[in-house]
Amino acid sequence: MERKLTCIGCPLGCEVTVELAGEEVLSVTGNTCPRGEAYARKEVTSPTRIVTTTVRVEGGMLPVVSVKTKSDIPKDKIMDCVRELQKVTVKAPIQIGDIICEDVAGTGVSVEATKNVKMDN
């Protein structure tokens, strides 16, 4: 199987082609530097992303607070993560770093607040 990717290592944005046999990477071509190969190998075997979104806030200066996964999670869990967080409501006040959710979408990764939200007076 063949997969085509755009490398994000630098503005060059090489079109990299990865030859795959199941999970095994047979070859990486089209990259102009070693970073391209490393990126492509990771992308085809275990792509991950940090997910950022918002959750609802009760009694705050703002109706929502921004949050992020504490580390990257598998790319195919992004939508599950966001859907789970859509159901969450937290109470003000909130500090940056407050844990919003312990284990999001079964990834074992926690979600933390990225903004301070004071109580609404």
Partner 1 sequence: MEHYEIIIIGGGPAGLAAAVGAREAGAENILILERDRELGGILNQCIHNGFGLHTFKEELTGPEYASRFIEQVEEKGIAYKLDTMVMDISGDKIVTYMNKKEGMRQIQAEAVILAMGCRERPRGALNIPGYRPAGIYSAGTAQRLVNMEGFLPGREVVILGSGDIGLIMARRMTLEGAHVQVVAELMPYSGGLKRNIVQCLDDFDIPLKLRHTVTEIHGRQRVEGVTLSEVDENGRPIAGTNKFYSCDTLLLSVGLLPENELSRELGVELSSVTSGPVVDDSLATNVEGVFACGNVLHVHDLVDYVSEEAALAGRHAAQFVKGKEEKWKGGKKKVPVIVENGVRYTVPAFINPKTMEKEVTLRFRVGAIYKNAFLSVYLDGSRVIHRKRPVMAPGEMEKVVLKKEWLLLADGLKNITVKVEEA
Decide: 68 and 52 in contact? Cβ < 8 Å: yes
- Smallest separation (angstroms) from partner 1 to the CB of 91: 15
Q: Rule CB under 8 A: say whether 11 interacts with partner 1.
A: yes
C-alpha 47/C-alpha 34 separation (Å) is: 18
Q: Rule CB under 8 A: say whether 116 interacts with partner 1.
A: yes
C-alpha 17/C-alpha 48 separation (Å) is: 19
Decide: 115 and 58 in contact? Cβ < 8 Å: no
Please identify, among the stretches 18-26, 75-83, 100-108, the one whose residues bind partner 1 according to the rule CB under 8 A. Answer: 75-83
Q: Rule CB under 8 A: say whether 110 interacts with partner 1.
A: no
C-alpha 104/C-alpha 51 separation (Å) is: 11
Q: Rule CB under 8 A: say whether 59 interacts with partner 1.
A: no
Interface residues with partner 1 (CB under 8 A)?
5-8, 10-13, 32, 49-54, 56, 61-64, 66, 68, 75, 78-79, 82, 96, 114-116
